[in-house]
Amino acid sequence: MFPPLQEGPEEGSAGGKADRQAMIEHEYETVELNINMGPVHPATHGVFRAILTVDGELVVDVEPVIGYMHRGGEKLSENLDYRQGIGIQDRTEYLAQMNAEQAYCMAAERLGGIEVPERAEFIRVMCVELNRCASHFMFLGAYGQDIGTFGTAFTYAFRERERIMDLFEELTGERMMYSYFRVGGVAWDLPHGFERKVQQLLKHIRQGVADFEGLLTENEVFLARTRNVGAISKEKAIDYGLTGPMLRACGIPWDLRKEEPYSIYPRLEFNVPVGEQGDCWDRYKVRLEEIKESVKIVEQCLDMLPAGPIMPERMPRMLRLPAGEVYMRTENPRGEYGIYLVSRGGNKPYRLKIRSACFSNLAGLREMLVGEYVADAVAIIGSLDLVMCEVDR
Amino acid sequence: MLFTWWDNGMFFGQAWADALVRLVIVVAFMTVTVMLLIWLERKLVARIQQRLGPTRTGPMGLLQSVADAIKLLAKEDLRPLTADRWVFELAPFVFFVPAFLTFVVLPFTDDLGIRAGLPLGLFFIVAVSSVSIVGMLMAGLASDSKYALLGGLRSVAQMISYELPLVLSVLSVAVMAGTMDLREIVRAQDRVPYLVWQPLAFFIFMTAATAELARRPFDLPVAESELVGGPHVEYSGIRWSMFMLAEYTNLLILSAFGSVMFLGGYAWPFGLDWGWPWQVALTFVKTTLLIVVFMWIGATFPRLRIDQLMAYAWKALIPLSFLQVLLTGLVKVYGWPDITITIPSALALVVSAAVVRKRLRYTVRRPREERLAYLRARAAARAAGSVQ
């Protein structure tokens, strides 16, 4: 394999130069190295394994290995009635539980033709948007940790997330697995003085966003690590089926709350923040801006919150949906979260399929990662905002 | 004289006894200080992060480091089966001993120091502290782990690159003082510390020292979220704690070194006429100040990437430090007033900061297509069999 060693031809002759060049290149040739990132690695957010092939410090190839968190949530749902199935949604999307519950309930409502009372819709949107804030704060903290801020970003983000979770605990009795929504409405009404507490919370969230702007957004090192890293073009993003902040960071203002308005979103005013070039910094920035928009939405909900029932009258004790199938999608913090529900007329779904946002976003990983540096692998995987439970379901 | 058993500049008048006593002083002082430093870092960073830090062990968690040390001593000393035994087991010592050796020449007061009057003290510190790199490399290579290997190689590349600006920045101070004796350098600063004449050199020193210490934003060798600990990843128990001990010792040494070189050590602002308690207090305050600055930077900055790190050293810091040395040399040779160094030096600092700031925000990095084309060419060469 070694190029033949020659007594060098004269300086300046073409052969001699080329041969020497080949020898030099051979001398410094490095072999490709496989690095197994995960399944137990601090930057993989759950149990995710990426087999990186690196050439020096450049990533040549990446093979995502998923399935470590598969718990058969879809199959389980077939054996649980429509009320119990909500709990599975909590456990599938464990950072944006309310959003997942909403998708599930709305699918069942659409199939059964159930009208949700107005007050319940407002309460739902409020919870969903607060949960979006909590989820994005989780991303911000974890992303800061991935980039390497030694926990400062993490604690900043968790301060706000804890406040949101405290409020949800007061509302639902649970910190993580809320199971608060019901098909047709919500489980119970807001506790006394809840609105005032939400208003205080919004102040804290705004302050938290401002703190983050100061800590990371304009930080030189953060810019150096995330700008122009892991960029993906608009066309590729659509081809891979990226949704949510991943897609919006490329500059496409695709938000299901605007495109396919559901619930009371048409009555609310909010913007869809978009990025410019679809790199990690844009993804970070889009999520940060979305928190501000969510705060606006919750404020409007508080202003417009009507009185009235929270469940439709005459809901059957055991819900049976007519035979048929429905696909309902909502805008989750991570993208399009869809529920495909098939009913054969019983009190349980015949088949439930979850269209996971993270799964599709993860599909674009190779496109973003190949040709970048190894250290960027962490930044890029972090910017996907993965919830492995949702990927594997 | 400080001690009654001090005789002929030696403890007990015997060379061997003297060496032994000094050795004990170094090790005991350093170990205790490092424990306090670890406690300080935990408390300080906790406060920055709105946490409490250790509270349960002793008053204000002061004994946390003691508890950690006991735990680490009691742990099993693990070694991977496939590790290179001797290199693996020796690596912590190679990392650890130079860190303690550098302590020898640091002056704490005008007459307190292990060998403070060494005429080549500056040279000694620079030379000995760079031996530590070998320990990192040994640990990385011998562990037989890919993460450790990457970490080891990174740390060698990083420390060698940042050694240059560090040395050049202290060189310009040495040119100012006209000596390499640390005591003489401090004495020369009894009116004005060199920070005033050499702002650029001080900045370069702090940056390069952060990188030498492998602290954030330059902690690539141990990058927790990427390399899960780098060269130390396979170490446990007492060997791991020796790495930690050496790291904090280096932090202390470089901070003390920085305070001697740039902040006027024990001389400024009181001058040399004040007694040794004042001088000790000054040294303590200045060293702690620099340590806290290092910790503060570490708590708030994200981590750079390896190519950015190298580019920053070779494209920004080294040319700037050459500029500083050149400037200092010119002024000294022609005997111009010292203020003629300050102005261009500060100007260069501001301009370079502005350039870095602008580059990060407005310039597009070398596009990925170029790197992809390079990888494709490599793959084609591999397929053609020209490469193994």
Q: Do A371 and B368 touch (CB under 8 A)?
A: yes
Q: Look at residue A219 in the predicted model and tell me its pLDDT.
A: 84
Exposed (0-12), middle (13-18) or buried (19+): which is B206, by Cβ within 10 Å? buried
- For B57-117, the DSSP string reads SSGGGTTHHHHHHHHHHHS-----TTS-HHHHHHHHHHHHHHHHHGGGG--SSSS-SSSTT
- CA atoms within 13 A of residue A243's CA, in its CB half-sphere: 21
Q: Look at residue B265 in the predicted model and tell me its pLDDT.
A: 84
Q: Do A155 and B379 touch (CB under 8 A)?
A: no
Q: Look at residue B234 in the predicted model and tell me its pLDDT.
A: 85
Q: Look at residue A196 in the predicted model and tell me its pLDDT.
A: 92
The mean-pLDDT minimum among A324-328, A334-338, B60-64, B302-306 falls in B302-306
CB B225 within 8 A of CB A42: yes
Tell me which chain B residue has its CA closest to the CA of residue A55: B375
Q: Look at residue B76 in the predicted model and tell me its pLDDT.
A: 86
Coil, helix or strand at residue A58:
strand
CB A161 within 8 A of CB A138: yes
Q: Look at residue A8 in the predicted model and tell me its pLDDT.
A: 46
CB A92 within 8 A of CB A171: no
Tokens of A131: 């949960």
Q: Do B307 and A220 touch (CB under 8 A)?
A: no
Measured between CB atoms, which of A60, A149, A155 is closest to B302?
A149
Those residues whose C-beta lies under 8 Å from the C-beta of residue A240, and which sit 6 or more positions away, are A232, A360, A363, A364, A367
Q: What are phi and psi of A332, to 5 degrees?
A: -90, 165
Q: What are phi and psi of A353, to 5 degrees?
A: -125, 130
Shortest Cα distance from A277 to chain B (angstroms)?
11
Q: Look at residue A221 in the predicted model and tell me its pLDDT.
A: 86
Q: Which residues of A96-107 are buried (b: 16+ CB within 10 A; e: fewer)?
A: bbbbbbbbbbbb
Q: Look at residue B60 in the predicted model and tell me its pLDDT.
A: 87
Q: Do B357 and A220 touch (CB under 8 A)?
A: yes
CB B98 within 8 A of CB B253: no
Tell me which chain B residue has its CA closest to the CA of residue A44: B225
Those residues whose C-beta lies under 8 Å from the C-beta of residue A14, and which sit 6 or more positions away, are none
CB A204 within 8 A of CB A125: no
Q: Look at residue A9 in the predicted model and tell me its pLDDT.
A: 47
Q: Look at residue B1 in the predicted model and tell me its pLDDT.
A: 43
The mean-pLDDT minimum among A15-19, A71-75, A302-306 falls in A15-19
Domain boundaries, chain B: 1-74, 78-384
Per-residue pLDDT at B388 exceeds 50:
no
In A131-190, the residues whose Cβ lies within 8 Å of chain B are: 144-152, 154-156, 159
Q: Do A55 and B375 touch (CB under 8 A)?
A: yes
Dihedral over Cα of B197, B202, B203, B208: its sign: positive
CB B114 within 8 A of CB B136: no
Per-residue pLDDT at A27 exceeds 60:
no
Per-residue pLDDT at B7 exceeds 90:
no
Q: Do B300 and A152 touch (CB under 8 A)?
A: yes
Q: Chain B within 8 Å of A58 (Cβ-Cβ)? A: yes
User: Strand A58-65 and strand B10-11: pairing?
Assistant: unpaired
Tokens of B201: 């050199």
Q: Do A43 and B226 touch (CB under 8 A)?
A: yes
Residue count of chain B? 388
Per-residue pLDDT at A327 exceeds 60:
yes
Q: Look at residue B364 in the predicted model and tell me its pLDDT.
A: 57
Express each pLDDT in B11-22 by its tens digit.
777 778 878 887
Mean pLDDT of A213-230: 85
Q: Look at residue B365 in the predicted model and tell me its pLDDT.
A: 56
| Rounded distance between C-alpha atoms, residue A358 and residue A338, angstroms | 12
The mean-pLDDT minimum among A41-50, A217-226, A347-356, A359-368 falls in A41-50
Predicted model pTM? 0.84
Express each pLDDT in B22-45 by its tens digit.
788 878 888 888 888 889 989 999
Dihedral over Cα of A40, A46, A49, A54: its sign: negative
Exposed (0-12), middle (13-18) or buried (19+): which is A157, by Cβ within 10 Å? buried
In A10-39, the residues whose Cβ lies within 8 Å of chain B are: 22, 26, 29, 31, 33, 35
| Rounded distance between C-alpha atoms, residue A238 and residue A273, angstroms | 18
Q: Look at residue A25 in the predicted model and tell me its pLDDT.
A: 61
Which of A45, A152, A156, A376 best probes binding to B when mutated, by most B CB atoms within 10 angstroms? A152
Q: Is the ipTM of this complex over 0.90?
A: no
| Rounded distance between C-alpha atoms, residue A148 and residue B137, angstroms | 23
The fraction of chain B above a pLDDT of 70, given in percent, is 92
Those residues whose C-beta lies under 8 Å from the C-beta of residue A307, and which sit 6 or more positions away, are A119
Q: Do A155 and B308 touch (CB under 8 A)?
A: no
CB A320 within 8 A of CB A347: yes
Tokens of A195: 């609105």
Coil, helix or strand at residue A335:
strand
pLDDT band at B5 (very low <50, low <70, confident <90, very high): low
Measured between CB atoms, which of A150, A370, A373 is closest to B372?
A370
In chain B, which residues have their Cβ closer than 8 Å to the Cβ of A154?
Answer: 49
Measured between CB atoms, which of B146, B300, B356 is closest to A215?
B300
Q: Do A57 and B361 touch (CB under 8 A)?
A: no
Per-residue pLDDT at A203 exceeds 90:
yes
Per-residue pLDDT at A1 exceeds 70:
no
Computed over every residue of chain A, the mean pLDDT equals 86
Which of A150, A161, A204, A223 best probes binding to B when mutated, by most B CB atoms within 10 angstroms? A150
**What domains lie within chain A, and their CATH numbers?**
82-361 (1.10.645.10)
Express each pLDDT in A349-384 by its tens digit.
999 999 989 898 888 888 888 888 887 888 888 898
Residues of chain B whose beta carbon is less than 8 angstroms from a beta carbon of chain A are: 45, 48-51, 146, 150, 216-217, 219-220, 223-226, 228, 298-308, 356-357, 360-361, 364-365, 368, 371-372, 374-375, 378-379, 385-388
In A211-230, the residues whose Cβ lies within 8 Å of chain B are: 215-216, 219-225, 227-229
In chain A, which residues have their Cβ closer than 8 Å to the Cβ of B306?
Answer: 57, 373, 375
In chain A, which residues have their Cβ closer than 8 Å to the Cβ of B375?
Answer: 55, 58, 60, 370-371
Q: Look at residue A205 in the predicted model and tell me its pLDDT.
A: 93
In chain A, which residues have their Cβ closer than 8 Å to the Cβ of B379?
Answer: 60
pLDDT band at B298 (very low <50, low <70, confident <90, very high): confident
CB B263 within 8 A of CB B195: yes
Q: How far is CA A33 from CA A52, A59, A185, A187, in A?
A: 8, 10, 54, 54
Q: Do B375 and A151 touch (CB under 8 A)?
A: no
Q: Chain B within 8 Å of A40 (Cβ-Cβ)? A: no
Express each pLDDT in A110-139 by its tens digit.
998 888 999 999 999 999 999 999 999 999
Q: Do B385 and A1 touch (CB under 8 A)?
A: yes
pLDDT band at B6 (very low <50, low <70, confident <90, very high): low
Q: Chain B within 8 Å of A339 (Cβ-Cβ)? A: no
Per-residue pLDDT at A344 exceeds 70:
yes
The mean-pLDDT minimum among A31-40, A150-159, B199-208, B279-288 falls in A31-40
Mean pLDDT of A37-57: 79
Q: Look at residue B111 in the predicted model and tell me its pLDDT.
A: 73
| Rounded distance between C-alpha atoms, residue A70 and residue A66, angstroms | 9
Which of A27, A40, A48, A149 best probes binding to B when mutated, by most B CB atoms within 10 angstroms? A149
